[in-house]
Amino acid sequence: MLGDRDGSMAQLLITGGAGFLGSHTCLVLLEAGHQLLVLDDFSNSSAISLERVAELAGVPLQRDQPTLKATPEAFTLVEGDIRDTQCLDALFASAKAFGQPIDAVIHFAGLKAVGESVQQPLRYWDVNVVGTQRLLTAMNFHHCRTIVFSSSATLYGYPHPNQIPIPETAPIQPINPYGASKHAAEALLADLAGCSGKPEPIQASSGGWRIARLRYFNPVGAHPSGRIGEDPNGIPNNLFPFITQVAVGRRPELTVFGDDWPTPDGTGVRDYIHVMDLAEGHREALHSLLNSDPQLLTLNLGSGQGASVLGVVKAMEATSQRAIPHRIAPRRPGDAAITVANPTLAAQQLHWRTQRSLTDICRDGWAWQQDNPNGYGEACL
């Protein structure tokens, strides 16, 4: 039985569902037959992504308010801020009033730019920690105690070489306010589960809480249709969208932050995971929680394979048949040489592994960027 009710599919609240990871996960969950209520403030996303998700899933997208005016159908979008307690309370209460109580939450809403977090620590703690605390307060009050939480490999900070590939039991040592805010939210979830301070990645929980803390490595790529993908605000902080924007001619050249790292070609190595693999990992984590006794799961979502900056450049040049001009610059503060997941536990617990390669990532990411050179900015529905 998946849902908390009579075995029908679950009614899910997806916070931040219009974003890069959220939109792809919404599509996978709709295809699995779940009903979705999306809450997003569009501070770093576009509602167009969800219009396209609706098109791909073959379901209409309803727009509504926090106090729902109509019975939630397959796919409903509400604009609101995760820190707005009245908005959260109205959503849970009105869904219940329509006989569609929220069975579980997938919590993507948050800020995620490392560099920006260094400049704006108070804002990152407000959205990522206070926002999560207010969501959990509303969930607790409305007896909704199943949540999949968007965490990050950033928690591991500078992994010790003997901890690579990185297991979930590696030391937690965030090195920036973004990572610290994710660590704080993880600690709050452990406290709720009655598992405070325990390092075990799989534990029985108390109070009926069913919690999955998913630590993403580097999510990249796009849905193979090219209709949805990554659309960062302004100049991309992350490598992959920067590379696709150079390939499509939107940026003149890539700056490579250091070629003197202790890696095979001297450039940084990361574990790039296709966003569709990540979305399917969320579906499997949700189903695992809904069909198990109350527990606290902490899982890495990564491929277990590393790729260097120059390796990604070469793969994208081969896929796009476009040169990607680049120049070497000094290392970026806060970077580590190598960050790669040990994905064993997710495979054991969820029977899930990544299925898509770096070539698949480049093919799908390039298709999205070619069809949407300016992202959703000047898109037509």
- Tell me whether residue 91 or residue 361 sits nearer to ligand WQD (CB atom): 361
Per-residue HEC secondary structure of the chain comes to CCCCCCCCCCEEEEECCCCHHHHHHHHHHHHCCCEEEEEECCCCCCHHHHHHHHHHHCCCCEEECCCCCCCCCCEEEEECCCCCHHHHHHHHHHHHHCCCCCCEEEECCCCCCHHHHHHCHHHHHHHHHHHHHHHHHHHHHCCCCEEEEEEEHHHHCCCCHHHCCECCCCCCCCCCHHHHHHHHHHHHHHHHCCCCCCCCCEEECCCCCEEEEEEECEEECCCCCCCCCCCCCCCCCCHHHHHHHHHCCCCCCEEEECCCCCCCCCCCEECEEEHHHHHHHHHHHHHHHHCCCCEEEEEEECCCCCEEHHHHHHHHHHHHCCCCCEEEECCCCCCCCEECECCHHHHHHHCCCCCCCHHHHHHHHHHHHHHCCCCCCCCCC
Q: Which residue is nearest to ligand WQD (CB)?
A: 268
CB of 345 to ligand WQD, least distance (A): 18
CB of 208 to ligand WQD, least distance (A): 29
156 belongs to the catalytic site: no
- Tell me whether residue 96 or residue 332 sits nearer to ligand WQD (CB atom): 332
- Tell me whether residue 255 or residue 374 sits nearer to ligand WQD (CB atom): 255
CB of 219 to ligand WQD, least distance (A): 7
- Tell me whether residue 190 or residue 340 sits nearer to ligand WQD (CB atom): 340
- Tell me whether residue 87 or residue 309 sits nearer to ligand WQD (CB atom): 309
Q: Which residues are at the interface with ligand WQD (CB under 6 A)? A: 112, 114, 152, 154, 216, 218, 237-239, 242, 254-257, 268, 270, 309, 332, 335, 339
Of 124, 178, 272, 376, which is the active-site residue? Answer: 178
Active site residues per annotation: 178
